[in-house]
Amino acid sequence: MPLGVPKVLEGFIEKEKEEVEKEEDPSWIELYHRLYEKRYLFLGKPLDEDLGNRLVGIMVHLAIKDRTKEQFLFIHCPGGLIIPGIALYDAMHYVPTDINTIVVGFAASMGSLVLTGGHPGKRMAFPNAEVMVHQPASCFEDGFSKYSSQNDEDVARFKELVVDIYMQTTKKTDRVDVWKDLERDEFLSAKETLEYGIIDLILDSDMIPPWMKDQISDESDQITDISINEDGDGGDKPLYYPLLGRMYPIPIKKRHDKSESENDESENDKSENDESESENDESENDKSENDESESENDESYHPFQG
């Protein structure tokens, strides 16, 4: 006797489909796509081949789309594989646009290497961020080429490469010192990271974040006209400028300087207009007095009087 298949009402099936669609919630995917379009990239987990390829592809795509606009890579990464890290580092240096790197929270191992690969003068950290540097322990994923004698040679070669990268991108000039720093886990605060030369700037609450400078005003000339100097006061320096390996964003309190100056100019113009109006009133009064005097003279003299 054949077994019967139980029948299910269509309404229940449609209800299950709706629940599945709600669980998927594609809004998060759309959010990250929107951020990518705005040139905000995120390295928020251990760097693997998949994530490395995705970030390289996005950087190249955005650079082809518009090579004049900067990209911002936010880093909170505990490490990862060295080969994808080197690939991402090279891509950051060879795309024709500036890559800003910002460490948010913690950047260790490959995260630190990617951080130091940002454009000179545009490598940043939040005040409470932390960075850890050390040498790579393996070139491949866990278990892959674990028992291969070639792996040791690859590790030695990549260690030399990592030392070369830190020598090129930091303030360290002694190769032996860099080797010693990388042979153990070296944890650095934001200030120590700045002194080491891995970053160029510690972000402050009184600064306009570089990734927000295009959103201060709809008019781009309103931003580029504002300037500061090393003390944070108005000066003859542009909004963002490299000086001794540092970048100084404009303080928030200076954002409205131009509007205040425009208000002062408008007040000056108003006062000048008031003065000119008062002068016109005085000239009109003088003119009326002259007219009165002429009328009096006309009344005193009549040619037909005897």
Query: Domain of 94: which CATH number?
Result: 3.90.226.10
Are residues 275 and 224 part of one domain?
no
pLDDT score, position 76: 96
Task: Give the Cβ contact number of residue 136 at 10 Å.
Answer: 22
More confident residue, 92 or 280: 92
Ordered DSSP codes for 101-163: EEEEEEEETHHHHHHHTSPTT-EEE-TT-EEEE---S-SS-TTTTTT-HHHHHHHHHHHHHHH
- Total domains in the fold of the chain: 3
The pTM of the whole model exceeds 0.85: no
Mode of pairing for the β-strands spanning 71-77 and 99-108: parallel
Largest separation between any pair of C-alpha atoms in the chain = 150
Q: Is residue 90 part of a domain?
A: yes
Are residues 59 and 174 part of one domain?
yes
Poorest-pLDDT segment among 5-9, 102-106, 154-158: 5-9
Sequence-distant (6+) residues with CB within 8 A of 194 are: 125, 200, 201, 202
Are residues 113 and 167 part of one domain?
yes
Find how far residue 280's CA is from the centre of its chain. 54
Q: In a 3-state reduction of DSSP, which class is residue 237?
A: strand
The residues facing 279 across adjacent strands are: none
Ordered DSSP codes for 238-268: -SS-EETTEE-PPBGGGTTHHHHHHHHHHHH
Sequence-distant (6+) residues with CB within 8 A of 168 are: none
Summarize pLDDT for 169-199 with one digit per residue, the tens: 999 989 999 999 998 899 999 999 999 999 9
Q: Is residue 3 part of a domain?
A: no
pLDDT score, position 53: 94
pLDDT score, position 32: 73
Are residues 56 and 104 part of one domain?
yes
Name the band, by pLDDT with cuts 50, 70 and 90, for residue 136: confident
pLDDT score, position 234: 39
Ordered DSSP codes for 3-63: PPPPP--HHHHHHHHHHHHHHH-THHHHHHHHHHHTTEEEE-S-B-HHHHHHHHHHHHHHH
Q: Is residue 119 part of a domain?
A: yes
Q: Is residue 294 part of a domain?
A: no
Summarize pLDDT for 254-274 with one digit per residue, the tens: 434 445 555 556 666 666 666
Token couple for 100: 């800003």
Q: Is residue 19 part of a domain?
A: no
pLDDT score, position 34: 81
More confident residue, 280 or 141: 280
Are residues 265 and 248 part of one domain?
no
More confident residue, 243 or 37: 37
Name the band, by pLDDT with cuts 50, 70 and 90, for residue 155: confident
Are residues 260 and 216 part of one domain?
no
pLDDT score, position 280: 63
Are residues 142 and 79 part of one domain?
yes
Poorest-pLDDT segment among 6-10, 132-136, 289-293: 6-10
Q: What is the domain range of residue 224?
A: 211-254
Q: In a 3-state reduction of DSSP, which class is residue 204?
A: coil
Are residues 99 and 199 part of one domain?
yes
Task: Give the position of tokens 């003859």.
Answer: 236
Residue (of 87, 85, 35) closest to 60 by Cα position: 87
Q: In a 3-state reduction of DSSP, which class is residue 74?
A: strand
Q: How many residues does the chain have?
A: 306
**Is the predicted pLDDT of residue 100 greater than 70, yes or no?**
yes
Residue (of 129, 68, 61) closest to 101 by Cα position: 129
pLDDT score, position 232: 38
Q: Is residue 14 part of a domain?
A: no
Q: Which residues are catalytic?
A: 109, 134
Integer angstrom CA distances of residue 155 from 14, 31, 107, 164, 168: 56, 39, 21, 14, 20
Question: Are 127 and 194 a contacting pair, CB within 8 Å?
Answer: no
Are residues 108 and 92 part of one domain?
yes
Average pLDDT over residues 115-130: 93
More confident residue, 147 or 243: 147
Q: In a 3-state reduction of DSSP, which class is residue 47?
A: strand
Share the mean pLDDT of the chain.
72
Summarize pLDDT for 41-94 with one digit per residue, the tens: 999 999 999 999 999 999 999 999 998 899 999 999 999 999 999 999 999 999
Segment 22-25 long-range contacts (CB within 8 Å, at least 24 positions apart): none
Rounded (5°) CA angle 152-76-106:
80
Are residues 149 and 89 part of one domain?
yes
pLDDT score, position 36: 84
Q: Is residue 21 part of a domain?
A: no
Are residues 92 and 135 part of one domain?
yes
Are residues 193 and 114 part of one domain?
yes
Q: Which amino acid is at 187?
A: F
More confident residue, 5 or 243: 5
Q: Is residue 76 part of a domain?
A: yes
Question: Are 74 and 39 a contacting pair, CB within 8 Å?
Answer: no
